[in-house]
Amino acid sequence: MRWLTASLIAGSLAAVSVPAKVHTPPQAARSAIILAYHRFGPSSPGMTTVKTSVFASQLQFLHDNGYNVVPLRDVVHYIEGRGELPARAVTITADDGHKSVFTVMRPLIERYRYPVTLFIYPSAISNASYAMTWQELKQLQATGFFDIESHTYWHPNFRVEKRRLSASNYRKFVTWQLDKSKEVLDRRLGKGVDLLARPYGIYDEQLMAAARQAGYLAAFSIAWGRVSQRTEIMAVPRILVTDRDVGRAFGSLLAEGRRPIPAAERGSRN
Ligand SMILES: [Zn+2]
């Protein structure tokens, strides 16, 4: 059959009048935007809290403007060259396991039926007053919309720890944070955790190598930018969404992968 395939390809090429030097890929290169949330509430006391009404308007914006909200795993497969992405691909993630993920985010996500990845540090779960319980995480998992992945074991600042510890103790500390988190999440939630978001988006060569060593397929930071097949898979950028990202501003964040500086603030020293 090989000759037949070859002649069909030759025939179809002959029928297409493309200038010889132009290389036309079978599909235009895709890219995705990964959004990172933390907590939700009636007011926004800081950068990491998005008002419930703002979050609802952002989901509606994605819905109304033809965005395709895809699971984070699809983006990982795309970077690896193992899968395709739809046009206007957006991914939703939320870090830290705050209670408002259960009370505010869950009902909205169920309404829009969008996939979400949660990055959790297990030491807080069923422990810190602001955090969800294991039971709540299991309930989120059972909805089918929430995938739960690792945010290290107790959310250290690796930059601080690197200064504080000897080189060999720091290496052990990093390995422990990455292994322990995976092990506890796997055991508690009955799954195979293989995605990592490092706290504060901190990364360097050593942390990227440690993530690979610990068996993570991909690791995520907090940074501007769109994700393409050229993205470094151990430092995939996610955009920190704030309360100011509404309407057109949110649209341009999704289009550009960064937040434009408002005209009123240009040249301001604040
Ligand atoms: Zn965090």
Backbone angles phi, psi at 127, to 5 degrees: -140, -70
267 pLDDT more than 70: no
Q: Is residue 2 part of a domain?
A: no
Q: What is the pLDDT of residues 29-74, one digit of tens each?
A: 789 999 999 999 999 888 899 999 999 999 999 999 999 999 999 9
39 CA → ligand 1 middle, Å:
10
Q: Is residue 268 part of a domain?
A: no
9 CA → ligand 1 middle, Å:
51
197 CA → ligand 1 middle, Å:
8
Enumerate residues with CB within 5 Å of ligand 1 (an ion).
95-96, 199
Average pLDDT over residues 74-79: 97
Q: Is residue 224 part of a domain?
A: yes
> With helix as H, strand as E and coil as C, how does 178-206 read?
HHHHHHHHHHHHCCCCCEEECHHHCCCHH
Q: Quick one: CA torsion of 88, 78, 37, 68, rounded to 10 degrees?
A: 30
Q: Is residue 15 part of a domain?
A: no
Q: Residue 131 belongs to a domain with what CATH number?
A: 3.20.20.370
Q: Is residue 269 part of a domain?
A: no
131 pLDDT more than 80: yes
88: nearest Cα among 70, 113, 109: 70
Query: DSSP code of 222?
Result: -
- Could you tell me the two tokens for 260? 């434009």
Instruction: Say if CB 132 and CB 104 are below 8 A apart.
Output: no
12 pLDDT more than 70: no
* Predicted local distance difference test score (pLDDT) of residue 61: 98
User: If residue 63 lies in a helix (H) or strand (E), which one and from where to where?
Assistant: helix 52-64
Instruction: Say if CB 241 and CB 51 are below 8 A apart.
Output: no
Q: Is residue 133 part of a domain?
A: yes
Number of domains in the chain: 1
Q: Is residue 109 part of a domain?
A: yes
- Could you tell me the two tokens for 110? 């169920």
Q: What is the domain extent for residue 201?
A: 29-259
264 CA → ligand 1 middle, Å:
31
Q: What is the pLDDT of residues 223-263, one digit of tens each?
A: 999 999 999 999 999 999 999 999 999 999 999 999 876 66
How much helix, strand and coil, in percent to the nearest 5, is found in the chain? 45, 15, 40
19 pLDDT more than 60: no
58 CA → ligand 1 middle, Å:
21
pLDDT band at 13 (very low <50, low <70, confident <90, very high): very low
* Predicted local distance difference test score (pLDDT) of residue 260: 72
The residues near 107 (Cβ < 8 Å, ≥ 6 apart) are none
User: If residue 64 lies in a helix (H) or strand (E), which one and from where to where?
Assistant: helix 52-64
The residues near 220 (Cβ < 8 Å, ≥ 6 apart) are 34, 36, 93, 119, 195, 196, 197, 198, 201, 235, 236, 237, 238
Instruction: Say if CB 221 and CB 237 are below 8 A apart.
Output: yes
* Predicted local distance difference test score (pLDDT) of residue 9: 40
Q: What is the pLDDT of residues 154-177, one digit of tens each?
A: 999 999 999 999 999 999 999 999
Q: At CA 50, angle to CA 48 and CA 55, rounded to 5?
A: 140
Q: Is residue 58 part of a domain?
A: yes
* Predicted local distance difference test score (pLDDT) of residue 95: 98
199 CA → ligand 1 middle, Å:
5
Give the DSSP per-residue string, 110-166: HHHT--EEEEE-GGGTTTSTTBPPHHHHHHHHHHTSEEEEE--SS---HHHHHHHS-
Average pLDDT over residues 20-36: 69
The rounded percent of the chain whose pLDDT value lies above 70 is: 86
* Predicted local distance difference test score (pLDDT) of residue 134: 98
